[in-house]
Amino acid sequence: MRILLFFIGATFFFSLAGSILAIYDPLSVSNNKMGIHILFPSELHTAAQMINGVDKGSWGYVTVPIQSTDRNRKKWQDFFNQCVVERVIPIIRVATTPKASNWEEPNNLDLLDFANFLNDLNWPVQNRYVIVFNEVNRPDEYGGKASPEKYADILNSAIDIFKSRSSDFFILPAGLDNAAITGNGAIHRSTYLRRMHDRQPNIFNKIDGWTSHAYPNPDFSVRPDLSGSNKIDSFRYDLTLLRRFTTKKLPVFITETGWSNRFLSDSQISHYYQYAFSKVWSDPNIVTVTPFLLNAQDGPFKQFSFLNNNQKPKEFAFNLSVLAQIGQPIFPASSVPSQLIEQPVVIQEYAPASYQPDPYSELKTFYNNLKSLFSVIE
């Protein structure tokens, strides 16, 4: 009888142990909600000063894209090391490459390459936040024509591939354009999500959180007190819609939002951010808000930039600093953050022309992809 009880107890214990995920709920710990969207790893220090309020807070968030042609191990490991120094949590958005006026349509080999590359890096916190592509309900973001069915398949594969490398990967779907209407290759996001579910009925049970692009539309300029499916509270409409497809509680990551200065002054935008953070983005389901964009310089996104022409913070940038809190994320068991903090790493910008590729990189990539592909099939 004792032997029988032992085996029953052991079976129960290991079944529980097997069900425990390595990722943790970011809302279960002290959390600094402040964040910012950056374009380059070299912008991390400026971002950290803003979202952590210099010495007031710690462990705010940055969203940063990585293209499939930018898998430079030293560059990205230096960035992750500097995240520890600056006490910043990275959210990595994987991307393909631009082709003419569109971004190339992703495929499973892109996912295999990204998973192998990102798994080979030492991450600053236990949760490895990865967003699988961007605004895929727009045609220009998905090879010229949005396809919920293709993206559902890609996202489903991404979850399996990344989590087969490490259960620390926290997989987030692409943030959708909350102003897109169906037509000319674009698809309204409610239709898009329904078709994703029709294609992959379990897909919204498999993701770890929800990504929102909560822009104040139309024209990125409406008041923050207005509610709607294309306003800054659009994440609530998403969660209501998702309840048709899953009972899973999905923490929200607003990785893009912000007001344009085409029609608004910096002072108005500052008041809008104050209202948004106190009345709308105070929602307990939100993990972070990373407005777009820290620094656009003279590019097409200049209207959203948090820095002026002299690279100084604009008036509304201080709304992030004053609200910064002390975050207490969970660290990987193998990391000792204090050791890295004692030895700061200097980030350098890596221009493509100066990058000397490994002559055997294509062969290694082919081998890794082939090996990974067979493991997925099995």
Residue spans per domain, the chain: 36-377
Cβ-proximal residues to 12 (8 Å cutoff; 6+ apart), any chain: none
Banded model confidence at residue 17, pLDDT cuts 50, 70, 90 = very low
Per-residue confidence (pLDDT) for residue 337, from 0 to 100: 55
pLDDT above 70 for 321? yes
Mean pLDDT for 267-290 is: 98
Report the alpha-carbon distance of residue 45 to residue 28 in Å, rounded: 27
Mean pLDDT for 234-261 is: 98
Burial class (CB in 10 A: 0-12, 13-18, 19+), 282: exposed
- Using alpha carbons only, give the angle 35, 64, 247 rounded to the nearest 5 degrees: 70
Q: Give the number of other Cβ atoms within 10 Å of residue 7's Cβ.
A: 10
Say if CB 162 and CB 121 are below 8 A apart: no
Say if CB 294 and CB 38 are below 8 A apart: yes
The pLDDT tens digits of the residues spanning 88-111 come to 999 999 999 998 899 999 999 999
The answer regarding whether domain 36-377 maps to CATH 3.20.20.80 reads: yes
The pLDDT tens digits of the residues spanning 125-160 come to 999 999 999 999 999 999 999 999 999 999 999 999
Say if CB 19 and CB 122 are below 8 A apart: no
Per-residue confidence (pLDDT) for residue 22, from 0 to 100: 84
pTM: predicted TM-score of the whole model, two decimal places:
0.85
Mean pLDDT for 10-24 is: 50
pLDDT above 80 for 212? yes
The pLDDT tens digits of the residues spanning 52-83 come to 997 789 999 999 999 999 999 999 999 999 99
For residues 305, 306, 309 and 311, what is the CA-based torsion angle, rounded to 10 degrees? -130
Structure tokens given for 270 = 């500052």
Per-residue confidence (pLDDT) for residue 374, from 0 to 100: 44
Per-residue confidence (pLDDT) for residue 144, from 0 to 100: 95
Residue closest to 81 by CA, chosen among 46, 123, 36? 123
Helix, strand, coil percentages in the chain from 3-state DSSP, rounded to 5? 40, 15, 45
Q: Give the number of other Cβ atoms within 10 Å of residue 280's Cβ.
A: 20
Say if CB 212 and CB 231 are below 8 A apart: no
Mean pLDDT for 22-39 is: 97
- Helix axis angle, 361-377 to 148-165, nearest 10°: 100
Cα 23 versus chain centre, distance: 15
Pure H helices in 189-233: 189-199, 203-206
Report the alpha-carbon distance of residue 180 to residue 158 in Å, rounded: 25
Cβ-proximal residues to 185 (8 Å cutoff; 6+ apart), any chain: 138, 139, 144, 145, 146
Mean pLDDT for 365-378 is: 43
Mean pLDDT for 255-262 is: 97
